[in-house]
Amino acid sequence: MAVTQEASLDSKFKDFTIIQAEYKRVGSHGIRADIMIPKTVSPGKRPVIIRFHGGFLGEKTYKFQLFGDSLFGDWFSRWLIELSERQSAIIISANYRLLPESTGLEILDDFDDFWSWIHSSDLANILASQSNSLELDLSRIIATGESAGGLPSIHLALSHPDEIRAVLVTYPMLDLGSPFFASPKNTPGGLAQGSAVTERIQNIKCDDVVSTAVAPERMSLMTLVLLEGKFAELYTRGSENSPNRDLLFPIDRLKKEDKLPRGGVVILHGAGDDVVPVEGSENFIKKAKEVMKDKQGGDKLVLTVQPGGHGFDVLASLDDQWLSQALQAAVETWLE
């Protein structure tokens, strides 16, 4: 069942009609996608932006797949909303299962099921029921995501390089084999004795599923995951003997793929990001240029590093010169 949500959720969404629908169920738990339609959109086929949220923690933001929601306005960049409105494009913004209740491989399953759903008759019927009878132009898809949300965008682009036109991601978590995600952090007060994260994992029940979380109690868990260096452990849990383990690591996966979306990959990253270090984006682009040389999309790899930290682009506009230049080739290919 689809439900139309009032756009008063956040003032950023005031010019959108928002339809909420479940794209899959895990046991009795439904996982939601938000269909965001500009109110000025004209009938007919419209370009598609698929978008995945990151996570959040306070002033020193630690963005991982433990926290977040598709419609949390603070994380929705101004430029992405402008892109949708100016191109009359439909945004489909997805939730997905979160760590630590779920594993990295289970979360990848959500991304794949979401991809199947956007091509399904269920979604087509939801859009056709609107007063202006809309249809997705599935030949013009661009994938976006911030922080942890950069991972599914890249995952789907590598899985469907001929169906996704281009990828635009910001400060994405791509170098997941880096020691940064597996090493305890030094703090002035040191770490508490014992591990609250380990205890939390031990108390997870087999039917525990979380796919949206913005409550304050989730923040302390995320802090501990980072400080104790537990993210890599949580993310890879249960994958040791899986033939799909390599899918968890985008940089390693590049070595096994033979193409990218023809509009390429654009990464925006803050030079002072101490949450997801810019070196991860640099490593991804370096490897992509190496293995995708003379292959589709290999000539359209862009890394733009700007002053600022995690979330530096939230108030940026498409009219900002640095941003319009970075996105130009990818957006043109998307709209061809």
Q: What is the CA radius of gyration of the chain?
A: 19
Q: Report the SS3 class of residue 143.
A: strand
> How many angstroms separate the CA atoms of 252 and 102, rounded?
22
Rounded Cα–Cα distance for residues 121 and 89 (Å): 19
In the chain, domain spans: 3-335
Higher pLDDT, 231 or 74: 231
CA dist 177 and 227 (Å) reads 17
The C-alpha atoms of residue 161 and residue 79 are separated, in whole angstroms, by: 24
31-84 per-position pLDDT tens digit: 999 999 999 998 889 999 999 988 643 333 333 444 466 777 777 899 999 999
Separation between Cα atoms, residue 233 and residue 162, nearest integer Å: 33
Side by side, the strands of the sheet bearing 29-38 are 3-5, 16-26, 29-38, 90-94, 44-52, 134-146, 166-170, 265-270, 301-306
Q: Hey, what CATH topology would domain 3-335 get?
A: Rossmann fold (3.40.50)
Per-residue pLDDT for 314 more than 80? yes
In sequence order, the 6+-apart residues with CB closer than 8 A to the CB of 181 are 173, 229, 231, 232, 235
